[in-house]
Chains A and B, each alone.
Chain A
């Protein structure tokens, strides 16, 4: 609650700062705004920025570090009074204290010492929040007074405000880079920890995948096997089925729309196909599990075949439907980029439309079409929900499309959903899989984008 109070107080103070700065600047020149360097509201923004930004930064830092500092203090006291030197026992006691402090259910019985520590924790938190309020608000007021002091007719308020805005813009555009760095660092760091337990060779080339590690080392089957080949094979297999559906359908419909369809048909069919791209993947997953998989199972049992209700075929076909719009809209762009003169030259030689398409346009558009297919494949490899809901969990190394296979994304989801401690090979394996997924899709995208760009330049 105090968080919102401080925030609202700070906002009020900042708004007040704006009006104060504006009126102050006018007061320094006796109301003649033309004697000021900048227009009066820039002085207002100047004061408001001084008032709001440092206080907000301090507040943010406080929120980030408050809990860990308080816990460190409590922990240091505990170590003296309870004489706990074991790290794992310490974390258990700290957990109890945290739960007690927030009024949750605690494990086991609570000793007086722990209760006292929890009270101490609560009181420290209260003190910290009070101190935060005092520090943040007084900082805001002090900065406000300082900024007001600096207002003079000759001060270049606009330039200063604009420089501050520019810094904000630069920070915003570097967030994209920070995200990439964050992805790479977190994946690499956790994968490194995983590869300390399991050798990368076993991971990349092992044929058996059973990540179930036992709680105790003396249990049966506790080793866990982390050979990811069945996952890679399953992923590629499902993507292959998907491309067998999406490739021909997407490409042929793109050709029809670019070369044959009258504008009216094109105007209705294109948005309809785009609908497919806007449907959430979880809906496709449900469709695969509810309609497509039972259809294969039932028609299989009619023919006397035993088809499991989770199959590579069901997941692959539905994924194919999902990526039709990617293939078709990308190919459509590419085909439209082929210069009209090539078509006319071909017609002039007496070729029919289909001959022109097959012998002139497609060869000319080939690099672009290949790029479109690669983007679609990378989409299929990274797709999660359809395979989670329809492909199954069994890591089978099989070429039978009616058997359950599993994919990289399915395993990431199953390994990480639910509560897990963060240092078992099982959890870390998900990050290693994520790293592989990230690298593969990144490579596919870079190659595809380069190919498509090269191709575009060719006809520009």
Chain B
């Protein structure tokens, strides 16, 4: 579109008329050319605007759908711990205590709240308002302190996830009763109990202290967070020493020959291999060949270490390269060996850069999901892992598992888990930025 304007700029004949004509043509073209200029600039701004809008939408969606998870709805019930139901023999045998029918105790207390509810379905609806975890909570309390038996104790139980959603205003009465999991009667009971102060809302500690569960109101991220921590520990322990050593060798000692060149090309290509391929490697080599345990942070950490290795090596080499040769020469001039030069002078000076690269690599590994699916870290695990060989899952995989769950209440949990994951990543990246700002030296 600007072709005519450009060609008209070139005077073809030297006569005065021609010149006047040309400058007129230029003037005529100018308006169009400036319009094109403004248009082009606007395209760029629109592109940036779209990209920023995408970030904004992503964050607002996640935060707005995840925020409700940070509060939970609880019901305060006064349960009479009937000795006849729990331990009729009075022996306080732990096995009897563990097997007693706590469910009946809780549900009876629940029905006692509304003595005029008699119908079978109504009773079931009323009981359904309470979380299934209530009887477990009661069991744990009794096992921890058998002297409670026979007493009347007040407990705060979580309500069922659908009631929790109702309390947060996710379902309302405008939706026909058949289309929502909360019945009209449950809503009435719930409102009545809330007005009485029996049902109340608190900060959600369950979410931060529990491991995964089939019941949304009992599911938490602590198990996955510990799994992530163990996996990251293994990754760091392997990839940091190996990565830094490899970078030191390649940057400071390696002779410039074909082998070194192959290693360098190799590292660059490894950095671009899709992460799922590392998962296949882990499955074929670590699990099938070496027979390491499936679902374990040990194997997950090893796979992620191989994946982050190129990042760490590339960043460390850049940091080592930034240390000026004069430092090396001065140290050598004082009689240090090459190994002493590196370990006493070059490496400490390059450390901030190396650490920045390592943190960024670790942040990448923390958010990685696909390779861990391959090595079985997607199992449903209710126990909090205690060592690097226990079955475990990690935060991003937990997000994936919850996102796949059909229950409505898991959507909010998923978003909240993402918020936790993102805040870890933001903290790590902020640390990297601070390190860089604080210790970066210009030579």
Interface of A toward B, CB cutoff 8 Å:
64, 67-68, 158, 162, 165-166, 168-170, 172-177, 179-180, 182-183, 186-187, 189-190, 248-253, 255-257, 260, 269, 272-273, 275-276, 278-287, 289-291, 321, 324, 328, 349-355, 357-359, 375, 378-379, 381-385, 388-389, 409, 412-413, 416-417, 422, 430-431, 434, 437-438, 441-442, 445-446, 449
Task: Tell whether B374 is near chain A: CB-to-CB under 8 Å.
Answer: yes
* Contact status of A256 and B41, CB under 8 A, knowing A173-B250, A283-B399, A350-B9: yes
- CB pairs A–B below 8 angstroms (19 shown): A158-B337, A173-B245, A173-B250, A180-B269, A183-B278, A183-B281, A253-B44, A273-B51, A278-B363, A278-B429, A280-B367, A282-B396, A282-B400, A283-B367, A286-B62, A382-B276, A384-B276, A389-B400, A442-B273
B281-297 contacts to A, CB under 8 A, are: 281, 283-285, 288, 290-291
- B267 contacts partner chain A, Cβ-Cβ < 8 Å: yes
Please give me the residue from chain A that is nearest to B398 by CB atom. Answer: A282
Extra pairs beyond A253-B48, A413-B374, A431-B280 (19, CB < 8 Å): A67-B291, A173-B249, A180-B269, A182-B285, A183-B281, A187-B284, A249-B50, A252-B44, A252-B48, A257-B44, A257-B48, A280-B366, A280-B421, A290-B403, A321-B51, A379-B272, A382-B275, A412-B374, A438-B277
Chain B 24-50 interface mask (CB, 8 Å, partner A; 1/0): 000000000110110111011111101
Known: A384-B369, A445-B269. A354 touches B276 (CB 8 A): no
Give Cα A276 to B54, complex, Å.
9
Contact B246 A172 (CB under 8 A): yes
Given A249-B50, A257-B48, is A422 in contact with B288 using a C-beta cutoff of 8 Å?
yes
Residues of B within 8 A of A162 (CB): 337, 339
Determine the residue in chain B with the shortest Cβ distance to A255: B44
Known: A177-B262, A179-B306, A353-B37. A434 touches B280 (CB 8 A): yes
Whether the Cβ atoms of B263 and A381 lie closer than 8 Å is no
Q: In B78-93, which residues have CB < 8 Å from any A CB? A: none
Q: Which residue of B lies closest to A320 (CB)?
A: B54
CB contact list, B34-76 vs A, under 8 A:
34, 36-37, 39-41, 43-48, 50-52, 54-55, 57-58, 61-62, 65
Which residues of the other chain, B, contact A249 by a CB distance below 8 angstroms? 47, 50-51
Say what secondary structure dominates the interface of chain A: helix
Residue in A174, A354, A409 whose beta carbon sits within 8 Å of that of B274 in the complex? A409
Query: CB-CB < 8 A to B48: which residues of A?
Result: 252-253, 256-257, 269, 273
- Taking the closest CB of chain B, its distance from the CB of A251, in whole angstroms, is 8
Residue of A nearest to B371 (CB): A384
B425 on interface, CB distance cutoff 8 Å: yes
Tell me the bound Cα distance from A353 to B253 in angstroms: 48
Top 3 closest pairs, chain A to chain B, by CB: A382-B274, A256-B44, A280-B367
Interface of chain B, helix or strand or loop or mixed?
A: helix
The smallest C-beta distance from A423 to any residue of chain B, in angstroms, reads: 11
- Residues of chain A within 8 A of B399, CB atoms compared: 282-283, 286
Chain B: residues with Cβ within 8 Å of the partner, total of 87
Contact call B270/A389, Cβ cutoff below 8 A: no
Residues A172 and B241 in contact, CB atoms below 8 Å apart: yes
The answer for the CA separation of A337 and B275 in the assembled complex, in Å, is 30
Give the residue of B54, B55, B367, B414 whose beta carbon is less than 8 angstroms from that of A286: B414
In the complex, whether B254 has a CB less than 8 A from a CB of chain A is: yes
Chain B residues near A442 (CB, 8 Å)? Answer: 269, 272-273
C-alpha spacing A182/B290, complex, angstroms: 13
B18 vs chain A, min Cβ distance (A): 17
A382 / chain B contacts, CB cutoff of 8 Å: 273-277
Is the CB–CB distance between B270 and A180 below 8 Å? yes
In the complex, are the beta carbons of B263 and A282 less than 8 A apart?
no
Expressed in whole angstroms, the Cα–Cα distance for A269 and B55 within the complex equals 12
User: Do A280 and B425 contact each other (CB < 8 Å), given the known contacts A180-B270, A290-B411?
Assistant: yes
Q: Tell which of A170, A248, A416 has the most Cβ of chain B within 10 Å.
A: A416
A385 with B369: CB separation less than 8 A: yes
| Cβ contact within 8 Å between B54 and A283 | no
Instruction: Given the known inter-chain contacts A280-B367, A445-B269, please indicate yes or no for A252 contacting B47, CB distance below 8 A.
Output: yes
Whether A351 contacts B242 by the Cβ 8 Å rule is no
> In the complex, what's the smallest C-beta–C-beta distance from A336 to chain B, in angstroms?
15
The smallest beta-carbon distance between A247 and chain B, in angstroms, is 10
B378 contacts partner chain A, Cβ-Cβ < 8 Å: yes
Q: Which of B152-197 contact A (CB under 8 A)?
A: none
In the assembled complex, the Cα of A352 lies from the Cα of B245 at a distance in Å of 51
Residues from chain A with a CB closer than 8 A to the CB of B280 are 183, 186-187, 412, 416, 430-431, 434
**Interface: B320 (CB within 8 A):** no
Chain B: CB-nearest residue to A444: B272
Pair B45/A437 contact, Cβ less than 8 Å: no
Asked if residues A175 and B242 are in contact (CB atoms below 8 Å), the reply is yes
Give the Cβ gap from B268 to chain A, nearest Cβ, in Å. 7
Q: Are B369 and A445 in contact (CB under 8 A)?
A: no
Give the shortest distance, in Å, between A86 (CB) and chain B (any CB): 22
- B residues less than 8 Å from A256 (CB atoms): 41, 43-45, 47-48
Least CB distance from A437 to B in Å reads: 6
Known: A158-B337, A321-B54. A183 touches B277 (CB 8 A): yes
How many angstroms between the C-alpha atoms of A179 and B65 in the bound complex?
Answer: 41
A434 pairs with B277, CB closer than 8 A = yes
B266, B291, B403, B418: which contacts A177 (Cβ < 8 A)?
A: B266
Contacts A67-B291, A182-B281, A260-B41: A324 and B51 contacting too (C-beta < 8 A)? yes
Q: How far is the CB of B331 from chain A (nearest CB, A)?
A: 15
The one of A64, A187, A384, A385 in contact with B290, judged by C-beta atoms closer than 8 angstroms, is A64
Does B249 lie within 8 Å of A445, measured CB to CB? no
A147 to B367, CA, bound (A): 46
| Interface residue from B45, B65, B250, B400 paired with A385 (Cβ < 8 Å) | B400
Asked if B2 is an interface residue, CB under 8 A from chain A, the answer is yes
Determine if A279 and B367 form an interchain contact, defined as CB atoms under 8 angstroms apart.
yes
Q: Flag if A437 contacts B284 (CB, 8 Å).
A: no
Shortest CB distance A169–B (Å) = 4
Which one of B39, B250, B280, B310 has the greatest number of beta carbons of chain A within 10 Å?
B280
Chain B residues near A172 (CB-CB < 8 A): 241-243, 245-246, 249
B57 CB contacts on chain A under 8 angstroms: 291
Contact (A281, B6) CB under 8 Å given A409-B276, A446-B269: no
Least Cβ–Cβ distance between B262 and chain A, in angstroms: 7
B-chain residues with CB within 8 Å of residue A158 when the two chains form the complex: 337
Q: Shortest beta-carbon distance, B399 to chain A, in Å?
A: 5
Tell me the residues in window 401-424 of chain B with beta carbons closer than 8 Å to chain A beta carbons.
403-404, 411, 414-415, 418, 421-422
User: Which chain B residues in 221-263 approach chain A with CB under 8 Å?
Assistant: 241-243, 245-246, 248-250, 253-254, 262-263
Within 8 Å by CB of B246, from A173, A289, A290, lies A173
Q: Is the CB of A180 within 8 A of B266?
A: yes
Whether A269 touches B262, Cβ cut-off 8 Å, given contacts A166-B339, A287-B58, A389-B403, is: no
Q: How far is the CA of A257 from the CA of B49 in the complex (A)?
A: 12
Judge whether B272 and A176 touch: CB under 8 Å: no
Using Cβ atoms and an 8 Å threshold, which residues of chain B touch A352?
2, 33-34, 36-37
Central interface residue in B54, B339, B399, by most chain A CB within 10 Å: B54
CB-nearest residue of chain B relative to A64? B290
In whole angstroms, how far apart are the Cα atoms of A257 and B283 in the complex? 43
**In the complex, A276 Cα to B373 Cα: how many Å?**
23
Task: Give chain B residues whose Cβ lies under 8 Å from the Cβ of A375.
Answer: 272
The listed residue (B50, B62, B246, B415) touching A176 by CB distance below 8 A is B246
Residue of B nearest to A265 (CB): B48
A230 to chain B, nearest CB (A): 19
Flag whether B368 is at the interface (Cβ < 8 A): yes
Whether the Cβ atoms of B36 and A354 lie closer than 8 Å is yes
* A17 to B241 alpha-carbon distance, docked (Å): 23
Specify the chain B residue showing the minimal Cβ separation from A413.
Answer: B373
Please indicate the chain B residues that have their CB under 8 angstroms from the CB of A170 in the complex.
Answer: 249
Q: Which residues of B, 363-386, contact A by the 8 Å Cβ criterion?
A: 363, 366-370, 373-374, 378
| Measured CA separation A160–B364 after assembly (Å) | 38
Residue of chain B at shortest CB distance from A353? B37
